[in-house]
């Protein structure tokens, strides 16, 4: 059974700092991995989707990497802003079964 873990559970950084969020999974036989953002009281917004054959994806200040063999993905956020404050979740897709991590709650202080 696929287990997805995200570390740290919470992170607080000053504005402007670059930061890395981590996601690990136990079964490397995945189809793709997604990073989502969840704001309080709202649903999830897809940020980046990495196919299993890809190593990374970039969107603006966000860069996600995938290392299937080691069961790891990272989400890099450059020049963080207060508006980036949210919970970030990774989700692993395998055999049409998407498993989520518990998320990292990010606070960016002005």
User: How far are the Cα atoms of 56, 61, 110 from residue 48, in angstroms, in the given order?
Assistant: 9, 11, 25
Q: Which is nearer to other proteins, 1 or 14 (CB)?
A: 1
Q: How far is the CB of 14 from other proteins (least distance, A)?
A: 26
CB-nearer residue toward other proteins: 14 or 41:
41
Q: What are phi and psi of 107, to 5 degrees?
A: -120, 125
- Please give the residue ranges that form the binding site for other proteins (CB under 8 A): 4, 31-32, 41-46, 49, 51, 89, 91, 93, 96-103
Q: Which two tokens stand for residue 42?
A: 């709202």
Q: How far is the CB of 67 from other proteins (least distance, A)?
A: 19
Nearest distance, CB of residue 42 and other proteins, angstroms: 5
CB neighbours of residue 37 within 10 Å:
19
Measured from the CB atom, is 67 or 97 closer to other proteins? Answer: 97
Cα–Cα distances in angstroms (integers) from residue 102 to residues 31, 44, 48, 93, in the given order: 20, 13, 17, 15
């Amino acid at each position: 059974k696929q287990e997805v873990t995200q570390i740290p559970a919470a992170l607080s950084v000053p504005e402007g700092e670059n930061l890395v969020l981590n996601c690990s999974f136990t079964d490397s036989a995945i189809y793709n991995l997604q990073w989502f953002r969840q704001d309080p009281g709202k649903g999830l917004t897809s940020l980046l989707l990495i196919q299993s054959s890809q190593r990374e994806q970039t969107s603006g200040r966000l860069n996600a990497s995938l290392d299937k063999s080691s069961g790891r993905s990272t989400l890099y956020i450059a020049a963080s802003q207060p508006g980036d404050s949210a919970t970030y979740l990774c989700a692993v897709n395998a055999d049409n079964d998407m498993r989520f991590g518990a998320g990292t709650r990010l606070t960016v202080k002005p």
